[in-house]
């Protein structure tokens, strides 16, 4: 299993994937807002989404798990 983690603290403004989705390297899974900027969080490995650990409106800290792939 592979985890997509938050690169920084921020507000989740968009969840751009769904459980069961097949993703490739570089696909955006979540968009964070930090310091008035929107930052896309991309996958660093390919796989199928098995769990989404955040919802829109959540505040995350750096290194929090956002999405789990297998």
Fill in the DSSP letter of residue 31. E
CB 26 within 8 A of CB 46: no
In order, the DSSP letters of 16-39 are ---TT-EE-TT-EEEEEEETTEEE
Residue 43: domain span: 2-69
Q: Report the pLDDT value the prediction gives residue 58, as an integer from 0 to 100.
A: 99
What's the token pair of residue 14?
A: 């968009």
d(CA 70, CA 50): 7
Q: Report the pLDDT value the prediction gives residue 54, as an integer from 0 to 100.
A: 99
Q: Report the pLDDT value the prediction gives residue 6, as an integer from 0 to 100.
A: 98
Nearest to 40 by CA among 8, 1, 2, 3: 8
CATH of the domain at 11: 2.40.50.100
Q: Report the pLDDT value the prediction gives residue 47, as an integer from 0 to 100.
A: 98
Digitized pLDDT (tens) for each residue of the chain, 70 residues in all: 999 999 999 999 999 999 999 999 999 999 999 999 999 999 999 999 999 999 999 999 999 999 999 9
């Amino acid at each position: 299993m592979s985890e997509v983690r938050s690169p920084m603290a921020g507000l989740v403004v968009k969840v751009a994937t769904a459980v069961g989705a097949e993703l490739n390297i570089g696909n955006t899974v979540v968009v964070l807002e930090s310091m008035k900027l929107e930052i896309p969080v991309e996958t660093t490995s390919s796989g199928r989404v098995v769990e989404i650990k955040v919802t829109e409106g959540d505040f995350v800290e750096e290194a929090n798990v956002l999405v789990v792939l297998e």
